[in-house]
Amino acid sequence: MPYQFKLGALVQLTRDRNEWKATQTELGDILPPYKEGRKETDWSYGPVNHLYVDTDIFETDMDITVTGINVGHITRNLKDGIVIHIDLFDVNGKITSYLKNGNEVWVRVSLKVIFDGSYERDSHIFNI
């Protein structure tokens, strides 16, 4: 299934006489159409913007953005766990999504940002 990726930013520039205003606009969702059994969240901590889990097959879908850079769209089975290693000019570390106790969706963020310190946290997202 083809996916649309968010690359960079879409900015609208408007003018009022001698003043200009730059406003970033949303690019929209890149998730597949809604289906029964899908749990969704707009949870974010540091880099993770969007996450859903299809509770019928434990497929998870993530749109990962780190310091404004979209690193991609990842779809995998959550039962296997998902690890994304980040190696950018200003950020490195990893993001891990996993099941805990068989029905709890968790995300572990372990990133070091050169200009902003470290992000270290395990977060319980929701139960399935």
Instruction: List pLDDT tens digits, range 68-102.
Output: 777 777 888 888 888 889 888 888 999 888 999 98
Measured distance CA(14)–CA(16) in Å, rounded: 7
Q: Residue 37's pLDDT is what?
A: 67
CB contact at 8 A, 49 and 31: no
- pTM (2 decimals)? 0.67
Q: What is the pLDDT of residues 20-70, one digit of tens each?
A: 777 767 655 555 555 666 666 666 776 666 666 777 777 887 777 788 777
3-state secondary structure of 80: helix
Q: Residue 100's pLDDT is what?
A: 93
CB contact at 8 A, 111 and 96: no
Measured distance CA(11)–CA(54) in Å, rounded: 33
Q: Residue 16's pLDDT is what?
A: 84
pLDDT of 107 > 80? The answer is yes
